[in-house]
Structure 1
Amino acid sequence: MNAYFYFSIILFLLQALQSRAVFNITASEPLLQNQTLLSNSQIFELGFFTPNGSQNQYVGIWFKNMTPSKVVWVANRDQPLANTDRSASLMIGSDGNLKLLNGQQSLIWSTNVTVHSNYSVATLSDYGNFVLQDGNSNEIWGSFDEPTDTLLPNMKVGINVKTGKKAYLVSWKSENDPSSGSFVLGITPETPPQAFSWNGSSPYWRSGQWDKSTFVGIPDMDNTYMNRFSLPQDSQQGTSHFIMSNDNNSYFSYLFISSNGSIKLMDWDAGNDKWLTNWETPTNSCEIYGTCGPFGVCSSLKFPICRCSKGFKPRFDEEWDRQNWTGGCIRETELNCQRNTSTSGPVTVKEDIFMKMSHMKLPNSSTYLPDIADAEECQSWCLSNCLCLAYSYVNGIGCVVWSEELIDIQQFTTAGEDLFIRLAHAGKGPSKQTKVIISLGTIFGIILCGAAIYGLCKWRAKKRGMFKIRGTPALLYPGYTTDRPEEVQNACKEQWRQDDASELTLFSFDSILLATNNFNTINKLGQGGFGPVYKGKLKDGKEIAVKRLSSSSSQGVEEFKNEILLISKLRHRNLVRLIGCCTEGEEKILVYEYLSNKSLDKFLFHSSKKAELSWDIRLHIIHGVARGLLYLHRDSCLRIIHRDLKVSNILLNEKMNPKISDFGLARMFECTQVLVKTHRVAGTFGYMSPEYAMGGIFSEKSDIYSFGVLLLEIVSSKKNTSLDNHGHLNLLVYAWQLWSGGRALDLLDAAVADSFSPSEAIRSIQVGLLCVQDHAVDRPNMSQVVLMLSGESDLPQPKQPTFTFQSLTTHEIKSPQQESNWSTNAVTNTIIEGR
């Protein structure tokens, strides 16, 4: 027998004799695979582990008593052991270094430091630092110096520009693969420093400049974060290190960068025994580096999110129209100082000016001027230097200027800094007297135009009979076209007349006041763009939902008419029922049936209530909404396009039966009509189809797209527009990547993990992806969707979507109507709360 056999026998006996938990590793006491190394207070644990589904084995550190546990450090992340290797050990070699050996005694990993003693010992501190000490108890190596993906309290990440040593966080390759991933988080060596993450070599996220207490590009970095973090710089040593302090002596927190690029700050909630996400980034597209390109400004609460700064225009108009903003913006007018230097002769050009932009995340690539004393001097310096394109004077930093293209600019609603961008002087303005004359003329012109428009509207309303509940569609909708065979038109009108609105109750305002207790705020169910919604009770005890038009609503009158016209004609178990209305004086009120479970989003996006939505209930809701849409699109001669289908517009009764609500934006189609072009795009961002959002073109396929988004949200309990989708820009991208990777079931909400049918779930996800395909012609109609969901139809494979707004081409979907010039307006994001 050879020496290897004897060694294996001895190692096996040692494993059997050793207890599972140890508190140090010495030359004579290695760590074997059936053992773990514990910190003194048993907060952290080190040992061998195998990730779920992996064929590899690693040595790592994790929180001992936390569920789910979090591996915070891995020794051999890029040099794994086979999970079948049961003879590996972590030991201290003859040179005093820690060494990880496999079963064949080959070296897998080592600390590789110079040790001046053969009496080394390795311990694990209560902070999670795996430390190697020499015989005199001097620390010669620590895991804190070689982080993986996680920053623990009292740990540092940063850079030493003199030695070139970097301590960066590097993500795992995937959730179950700790090898080095593509995302890296570190601190830049510049002054002031920034936190930066990269995807490979490309910038991915940026914190903004450090002002000695916070990062100016993180608006929610409040006192909690200020007390926890510091970023000391030592110019003599050339170091910049970011440190998370041991806040309130709590060991149970960490910051890490995930395999999809998300940066999360996690805290242990001892009361509920779970990890809580204290802070996370990126959470919207504006936080992704350079989304709007050079000189582009990103605002996450606006649509579109990107715009050019004043004095700039899109570099590539066509790309900008397609929502590809990375090309950024260029100047409309050359800077005056540049014309001064390029113009020969004694031509005098005025000085440039600065445009102030408030609440800004300052651009990247700034230059710090330490000798500038105040904001006025900072401006003067920038004005005298033609290469200076912008400046900012920041409390805690001082004067920073920019000489390169301004990139990664974001505007917040609060916080942020003032940024001054250099523009060419516009020339001498008009005198005060001229301004007064122009202003008076403008006001007088507006009054005349307003009077003319008012008179025209009154005349048209009188002539067309625009707000008559019993009116025909052509009278109620000025844009309603009738150029089609007369017999078809008459048939549609006849069907419309048969479904009369006489069942509507006309309520007095006094009865509404009595039912809602004078619109008591206690009875308020929600607030939307139309106005508030209240719960009420009639004299006979019947509960109702009362929707009151707000006087400040710009679209309320039109939506009010629309709801009375449409809902009063519709009868379906999956559509909300309109009971009546009130139009006394200036009041415009709609009265609906009351649905006790309110809106679907109250369950779906609530961390505790979503568990009440079992898989069977979710499937029931999906099928109910599909049947309601099929009725709108196909089961009446005058088809209805909803245009604002979303989770908050799905109401639930006491039996969790879904009912589609809010028809304020709905439009009628004629029997043969295919599509309509609109001058006013209105709906909710995230649910609008590409052709509607960008081109104002809507059809039944617009509703199909919205239904697909809604279906995927119901399956996953994730919002499409939220970046809580494993770092993807939206839910649709995440769903497609899981589907194409053969992992569709990973999309399902964990709350239904024990109750769902895999075949039904996969079919539902596939139908959702078919509905959100980019081109309208590729999407199924509602008849096909209902058959697909019921399993009565084979499913085609969805095409890989780009999930970007695109304009329809004529071969994709054609209108029988004559082409005409049209334009789009800004999107109206309607947010109507559940009744």
Structure 2
Amino acid sequence: MAMASTLYFFAILLFYYLNLFSVNANSYREFLQMGQSVRTSDTVVSYGGNYKLGFFTRDRDNSTKYYVGIWFKKVPNDKVVWVANRDYAFQTSSAFLTIQPDGNIAIRDGQMMYLVTNVPNSSYSTYATLLDSGNLVLLNNSNKRILWQSFNNPTDTLLPGMTIGHTDTGYNLSLTSWTSADDPATGPYTLQFNFGSVSLTVNKGSNVLWIDGNSNLSIQTVFNRAVLEQNIYKDYFSLPIYSNSRFVLDVSGDLKYEGWSEKSKRWLSIQSSKCGTNNSCGVFSICNPRDHDPCQCLEGFEPFDTDSWGKGDRSAGCVRLKNLSCNTTDGFVRFFSVELPPNHANLMLNSQAQCNHTCSTNCSCLAFAYDLFAVNCMLWNEEVLTLKNISTDNQDADKNKPIYFLKVAASDILTTSNVTNAANRHGNRKRNLILIVILTSFLILLILLGLFVYRTRKQSKKGDDLLNFEVGMSMKVNKDSDKGTKVKRKEVKLPLFSFVSVSAATNNFADTNKLGEGGFGPVYKGKLLNGDEVAVKRLSKRSGQGWEELRNEALLIAKLQHNNLVRLLGCCIERDEKMLIYEFMANTSLDCFLFDAEKREMLDWGTRVRIIEGIAQGLLYLHQYSRFRIIHRDLKASNILLDTNMNPKISDFGMARIFSENVLQANTNRIVGTYGYMSPEYAMEGVFSIKSDVFSFGVLLLEIISGKKNTGFYQTNSFDLLGYAWDLWTNNSGVDLIDSKLDDISNKHLVTKYVNIGLLCVQQSPEDRPTMSDVVSMIGNDTASLPSPKPPAFQNVRGTESSSLSGSTRENISVNVVTNSIVEAR
């Protein structure tokens, strides 16, 4: 028996080595099985074609050394992002990478062997796969369990999904620089994450050379924004898996933050640690990390201490050459693509012109910037800390950044009116050259454009849609089927998730991960490799809704940015699968609390007021401050999601419609929505406008106050909540609408105010209802007197919870993202 076992072992070993040297293919697709080898001329390519694994060389001292590494495939000779044997080079081209009989990945060359992995020897077989994220993973062949991954053994590059710091698996991970540009051996610089101060640090031995300063969360550098956008779990840091960026620790100790430009097909340097943080060049200065001497005074300023400045001490900063006159003759110099200093005040103003006027008429105001997306006017009334140049040479990315306006004396405007910042001067000659090339090539471009338009029109609609998802989704000019309006074309960049990553995140769409199911299909809870929890909305093949509905919702919500709107993280269009990936809301939806006898007690008065205010702010953004006027059309308790802190986020934009600025309402022949929340003009005539959403908000407000559904039974002259509230109001008993579960209200008059606002919103005529701007103003003013409401809608309608309207749909189940709403293509 022992002899048979020995012979069997040697037979397997012989087969392994024979198979090892008989593989002739020079490229593998994603997988490396036991018995296969990757020679110095071979490569393994990830499933989506993002990354390659193979041997690379660095010539130095007339000798060639072979290393195994991973690099970005889409750029020729791009940086190697991971090295398997950085401190142990192989000297000959006969080296090969393989999976040994004990299941470990190793590099061999004759009798020499280097173990890449050190998984304990076992009886099961293994295989390796290169993921599209750049992660090399070793798995158990039987149960697909991950035994080892390169993301837990980083070198000098942090990719999306990788972590730095202490992980759940016991690793303490950090980046380490190469020794030189030609030598990947372990260098002297490390990038570490300090959870105590929530900061990244670059170290050389025990010396801290750079710290990102994130312990002060008001410092919004590019690095800090990267920290804030990622999720910190326990005590490690990671970039979001869906981001198109990376950190690279250079051989000089400079930490570079790079972003991928799909337009120019290359990695662009967005920022580096050369400028540091915390006012590195002093006040009234600008830091350009691309310059050898990064610190310069702003236009119209000079060093406060010339001697110290020349010796490299910039802490004193700069001072004005000419004082401001504090009148309308002072003007502003524009700075493009700069990171804004943190010490500013914020005002909610409707336009950049209003922001400009506010600063111009204020003697103490030194500078301003206007954030169009946040509708935020930022004013600097103190010293201006160091500006940082963050130009990326990517005009699409730079044009969305707020422009910084610095106040200067009138005489300085004549000499600096065309100045943006130091980095922009370097780009003037380049832009002039580009302009000449464009003019001389104009005829050729017209011909190419004509050919492109001709070919595009002949493409099938589905093919066009898939292409849009691959290169960045776009809102086409389209006409609403029901007397809608045309919408200008707008590019929407939406991150793509691979099916493999989504499947892994949801445990292969396990029933235990299923949150619920709506008209679109099932929704699953998922957890990405970096720890992010997500909600995956998966289109069912049997769904009455389809590709157009998914596309419409994705195109619309991808462009919305507000704290009270659910955030779309990306999509997956692969293998006949169509999915949307949203941020996960830990407390599901409002109706799960509001209409549950036990959970309702968790909604105290302060929480309910915060939820009402958040919903109002989200709707105001949709109606007035987003790039397009958006009508939600399905606002209800089940479409209000709650995060960990019970903050509300409006979700489910499948029925939403876009209006242009000069259109106030539209008609539809197909009534869709949820009974109890639809306005009378929409339910009866198919007319909808922003006042339709105001009506739904009023119903929702009264439900939040009372803890009762609008479609419930009430023993008064009316059978719905609106009639019940009206009866109480006319009897001067509006305060009695308050939920009986609430016993913590000290100011009863506040209840009356909210009942008043709710009844104003649900009046019969749209003209009588306030706008959301009016509603937000009324909510924020505790002293102003409010107008008396007219009777609410549907007072002549009798119905119960089982009532329905022609063409309407009833809500089935509240899940994290989806409700059973009928979606209408725009």
TM-score interval (norm. to shorter): 0.3 to 0.5
Larger Rg: 1
TM-score by length of 1: 0.40
